[in-house]
A = this chain, B = another copy of it.
């Protein structure tokens, strides 16, 4: 699918900046943080990138990931993702290359909570060594 169409499909007006950012995101197979994204460009404004990511997130183009590094990461949503609980998945953070990946092929396992605790969301991050660093 063309990049522009992807934006339109999610009701995001395809500005020049947004096309550039979405392209960068699509070129990756790992999640990316704001500062990292900023460094992929020669000269962009951090705030604009920040707001671009927020817009993408609001429109379910990407989801944010808290991998425990202190920097929020973002990764493309899968086709048709609504960011509902059932779309949640595990994330993997490589302690060597520091990349963070979505592990979408298997869901998050259930956990027995204490009596009268009600689950709403889960964040599960596994750290270790990725296949490229093995």
Contact = CB atoms under 8 A, between A and B. Distances in A.
A6 interface: no
Contacts of A120: 95, 127-129
Interface stretch (A30-38, A43-51, A55-63, A106-114): A106-114
A117 B128 contact: yes
- State the number of copies, please: 2
A7 interface: no
15 contacts: A103-B111, A103-B113, A103-B114, A106-B112, A109-B109, A109-B110, A111-B124, A116-B131, A118-B128, A118-B129, A118-B134, A120-B128, A121-B126, A122-B126, A122-B127
Interface of A: 66, 68, 90, 92, 95, 103, 105-106, 108-131, 134
